[in-house]
Structures are given as structure tokens and as C-alpha cells.
Structure 1
Amino acid sequence: MGGWAIAVHGGAGVDPRLPPHRQEEAKQILSHCLRLGISALRSSLPAVDVVELVVRELESNPFFNAGRGSALTTKGTVEMEASIMDGEKRRCGAVSGVSTVKSAISLARLVMDKSPHSYLAFDGAEEFARQQGLEVVDNEFFITEDNRKMLKLAKEANSIVFDYRIPLIGRDSCGFEEGTGGMSAIEHALQMNGLPISVYAPETVGCVAVDVLGRCAAATSTGGLMNKMNGRIGDSPLIGAGTYASDLCAVSATGEGEAIIRATLARDVSALMEYKGMGVKEAVDWAIRERLEEGKGGLIAVSSNGDVTFGFNCVGMFRGCANEDGIFEVGVW
């Protein structure tokens, strides 16, 4: 075995003008979560327990788009979703439309372990959470003032904010030109993004890990898209799209959910390793390059032999990784 390894992400796509102190804040959060995961792996905790632990910690921090700080629906409410997968036996659990459960990822874990199903949503997921004794809070707990302001901007732009940033049409950089024919930056931006790139939006979170026994697991959690339609489901809770784990690897995705769903992105990485004999880095690079088409996103992945990698096709991705050989890195760009 190649030893344990772990990777975390806080979303793909970052505004290049994100203030340095905010970049540093993200790095500190990711470093803290990495250390939490490392300690658990060194204590011989199974990979599936580690990824739940780390993602639950990420959900508790309003900097990112999961748990407290989740993106708001067009009605100003929070509908969270998450999934977890244990690669050893390809067991999985997922939830969508969660509005009062404090940890969506822990609910997904209970769906996997304590229900006869793989996926529960909305009222059924909420009812199951109460049956299982999970901590619940009012929907207001998850809503931050920053996200109320973001929703207002999204409504004014009549657009949805994806959890990645994209440049202007026909421009190589992500800067905005002022005074172009009297049109605003919003009007010049790609409608898929809908807001000036200088407006920072929080991001989806995820964790992948392989333990000392070579067992792989993945977990992903999100609040979705700012100003999304009520009932919208993204890639994060969909096994094979935003999350996947097998006996070969574990993968967590982030970015434009609709493009990731069409690409079955996370599963593709495992399939490339299984059927093409690729290493995990080669598989991640190929999937990002060939499967996302015009969509923007990123992946983190570990292999059962302890390799850890990431890939993205946008400006940046909040990420961190560590392994038994002493690697410890956090990055944005």
C-alpha cells in the first residue's frame, strides 16, 4: 500500500481580484480541515469516517457554500444537498432539499448506513433526519447577510450565480473594461454567470481520502446556486457526477453542476482507471479536458495506492492535499 492520502476542496473557480485576506482565510480553513483529516487517518479511522468528519467541519464554516452560508434559492431559503460514497463496497448515501438539518453530509451518511435506500430528498429526508435524532435548526440559521446581498444582486441581474467564475466573452483575462458603449459589466458578462466577477460567491465543499488499508471514500456538500429555482438538484448529491468512490479511487467534483451531471464526471475518472488502466492524475486530466465541454469545474481525487491529485479548467480552485509521505499543500490558483 502507498499509505494514506487526503484532499479537500472549497469550490472551483475563484475571482482573481478576491482580496488577499479572503484568500488567506480560505487557506487557513482548508489547512485546519486537512489537519483534522490527517489526525483521523493517523488514528486508523476508516476513510469513509474521515471524509464525513472533514466535510461536516467545512459545512460549519460560512465562508463556503455548504451548511451555514449556503446559497439562497429564488425565494430566499436554503436547500442543501450532499452525498457520500464508500469505495470498498460501493455503498452510497445522498440527500437533497435539506432545509433544517445542521449537517447534510451526516444525514447522507445515515441514509447509506441506516436506510434501505441510497437517496432521500426534501420532506422525506427531513423526516428521516428527525427519526435518526440528527440536530436540526431553523432555516434562518444557514442564511448569512452576505448571501442576502448576493441574492439581491442576482435578482437585479435576473440571473443564476454558478459556483465558479468565468471571464468575459472574447477576453483572455477576467478583468472588466469600463465605459464600453455605456453597457454595464453585468451586461457584458456571460449570462451563465450573470454577475460581475468582482462579486465573490461561496463555493461547494468536498473531501476524498484513502486510509492505511487502501480504502477510498468521497463526500461532497453544497448549498447549490444563488437564485436557483426551488427544487433544483445539482451534481453534488448525484453519485457518479459530483461524488464517486470505488476500490481504485475516490473523486469529488465542483463547478457548473449541469455540465458535471452531463459528463458523469466523477465516475468517468474511476472508469478511465478501471477500463483504460490510467493513473489517477492522467484520468483526472483527461476527464476535465474531454468531458466538461464548455462547462467549468474541477475535481479532487485519491487512488487506493495513495496518490492524490486535482484538476480544474477555470481560474482557480480552493484546494488542499496531504499524504503519508509528508506532502501538505493548500492553494487557490
Structure 2
Amino acid sequence: MGWAIALHGGAGDIPRSMPSNRLEPRKAALHYCLQIGVEALKAGRSPLDVVELVVCALEDNPNFNAGKGSVLTGKGTVEMEACIMDGNTKSCGAVSGVSTVKNAISLARLVMEKTPHIYLGFEGAEEFAREQGIEVVDSSHFITLENIERLKQAKEANRVQIDFTQPIHQELKDGPKGDQIGTVGCVAVDGEGNLAAATSTGGLVNKMVGRIGDTPIIGAGTYANKLCAVSATGKGEAIIRGTVGREVAALMEYKGLSLNEATSYVVKECTPKFTTGVIAVSASGEVAMSYNTVGMFRACATEDGYTEVGIWAGDE
């Protein structure tokens, strides 16, 4: 048993032809955020602190679809979602419809720790944020030129999408195409087997105002118990239908599968192809990063010295 950490910056139709000026900042962010998490674990920080810290750093990076880089609704607004969960206690907190909170994941943790509830949304979440004194900014802070262009292209094509060119409901006869900006997440376990998971997202380009995805739904995009911690990314509706996070834990609990066996089965058998990516750690320090998409921005490290940073299969 030893500590382990994994993080993701989204899974989807990530082309190997992605220009270096778009690829390199994302790879650098994966390395940077992984190092933040590793140093925090080595310093004895709790897994809950670690996943919040790492996801905050990812939210602050405009190259991912969370926080600063959140994609826009059909009305050109930002509606962010986040969720955090502690494995030992199953305590959890989630928010949706956040538009002024700098780090939605920190607000989710406050919901967990400072309210009798699990999930707050929209104006209620915003009001709670103001009451707690958490950092808020003008909503324009989250709107990037890239995401304005994404929304424009989505509207012109009259579709909801997770990238520039790939509609959510398009039949993938010729395989996926496009450029990806993704949900972020982190899972961690310490040397004592304590587990935590956190996920944050801006959702879908041109989504309906009020749409809620898998990220803040316990057992779908985010889940942790005493066996494992899971964060998912991809097409939220598919992840919700597959109850992806809980399914991984259930296969370990009831079928006796290993972490890698469980994540692989869920990604291959419980969700359609080109929809899902999963990162997970187990109480014994195992790491799994599985996806059925073209690629997944991902990174992990374990106490025994193993490190991986990758995007596509075979490039770690």
C-alpha cells in the first residue's frame, strides 16, 4: 500500500494532428498539476485536500473546460459544475449553475462541510458562496475567445457539442473528428488507504441553460468509497446512464474485480464507444486510466516511482 494520484483534463475526439501551440500548454499543465498533487501527498496532506488543490489548479487553466476555460451555454453564459467526495465517510458536496465562483470545486467542498445538504444549484449556490466569503469574480473572467468561437460554430451548425466539430448526437460512421477541451478531475489515495475524488466542468458547448451533466451527480461522474475513488469525463448523458463511478466500485465490491478490471469493463461495456474516460485509484494504491475515446488528457503517479503523462494510446 502507498499513495497514488491520477488526474484528467478531458477525454474525447482529440486529434493527433492538434497543433503544438494547443497541445503543449495542455501537456505542460498535466505535468504541473501532477507535481502539485505529488508534493501535497508527500507532505502528508489529506487526499481530500489534494484533489481540491489539483482541481483548483486545473480550473485556473484556460486550456480545460472548467473554471477559467468553461464553455458557453446557448445564451453565451457560463454554468459551471463541480463535485467532491471523501471515500471513508462518503461525505460529498456538489454544485451546478455556478457563474461567478472562481473555483467551483472549493464551493462544492463547502457544501459538503458547511451545510446539511449534498447539492446546491444556481442562485442558491451563488448565494451560499457569498455567505461563505469564497472568492467570486465577474462572469466575464470565465469567457475566453476560443469558447466564443466554439459557441458561434455550434450555433451555426445548430447542435450541442463537446468540441469544435463533433455533434453530441452524430452517428460516428467514420470515427470521431475534432478538437477537444475537457472536463477536469483528480483522484487520490494516501498511504493509509484514505480516498477522495473531485471533478469540475463547464459542461457542453451550446447546452441549454439549466442543463446538468454527470460531473456533480454522485455515482456517475464522481464517486469514492473505501475501495476506490473515481472521476469520469466525456459525454455526460452517457456517463449518467452508465452510473460509471458507482459501477466501478460495485464491480470491485460484489464481483471481486481489480481496479483495472473494473474500470476497463465499465468503459468498454457500460457506455457507448467514443463517450467515456475514467481515472481511478484504489485503497491499495493501484491506478487506472481507461477510455473508449480517441484520447484522454491524463497523468498519474504512485509512491513506488511510477509516473505517466499521456493523451493517446501508446504515447505514455
Taking structure 1 as the reference length, the TM-score comes to: 0.90
Q: For residues 266-317 of structure 1, give each alpha carbon's deviation from its aligned partner in whole angstroms, at most 9, with x where no partner exists.
A: 1100010011111100000000111103561110000000000111001000
Give percent identity, aligned residues only: 60
After TM superposition, give the deviation of residue 162 of structure 1 in Å. 2.2
SS in 2 for 1:241: coil
4+ aligned runs moved over 3 Å, structure 1: 163-169
The residue correspondences of 1:194-273 to structure 2 (distance < 5 A) are: 197-198=177-178, 200-273=179-252
After TM superposition, give the deviation of residue 328 of structure 1 in Å. 1.4
Q: How far apart are the structure 2 equivalents of 1:36 and 1:56?
A: 11
5+ unaligned residues in a row in structure 2: which ranges? none
Question: 2:273, 2:293 within 8 Å by CA — same for their partners in 1?
Answer: no
Q: How far apart are the structure 2 equivalents of 1:127 and 1:169?
A: 42
1:289 aligns with 2:289: no
The one-letter code matched in structure 2 to 1:91 is S
1:171 aligns with 2:170: no
Name the structure 2 match of 1:53. Answer: 53
Name the structure 2 match of 1:91. Answer: 91
The residue correspondences of 1:69-148 to structure 2 (distance < 5 A) are: 69-148=69-148
5+ unaligned residues in a row in structure 1: which ranges? 175-196
1:303 aligns with 2:306: no
Q: For residues 73-126 of structure 1, give each alpha carbon's deviation from its aligned partner in whole angstroms, at most 9, with x where no partner exists.
A: 000010000000000111100000000011100000000011110000000000
Question: 1:154, 1:161 within 8 Å by CA — same for their partners in 2?
Answer: yes
The one-letter code matched in structure 1 to 2:114 is K
1:318 aligns with 2:297: yes
Q: How far apart are the structure 2 equivalents of 1:144 and 1:24?
A: 18
Taking structure 2 as the reference length, the TM-score comes to: 0.94
Q: How far apart are the structure 1 equivalents of 2:293 and 2:161?
A: 15
Question: 2:273, 2:292 within 8 Å by CA — same for their partners in 1?
Answer: no
1:27 aligns with 2:27: yes
The one-letter code matched in structure 2 to 1:36 is I
Name the structure 2 match of 1:4. Answer: 3
SS in 2 for 1:332: strand
Q: Give RMSD over aligned pairs.
A: 1.5
Question: 1:12, 1:163 within 8 Å by CA — same for their partners in 2?
Answer: no
Q: How far apart are the structure 2 equivalents of 1:323 and 1:169?
A: 36
Greater Rg by CA: 1
Q: How far apart are the structure 2 equivalents of 1:293 and 1:54?
A: 29
What count of residue pairs does the alignment treat as equivalent? 308
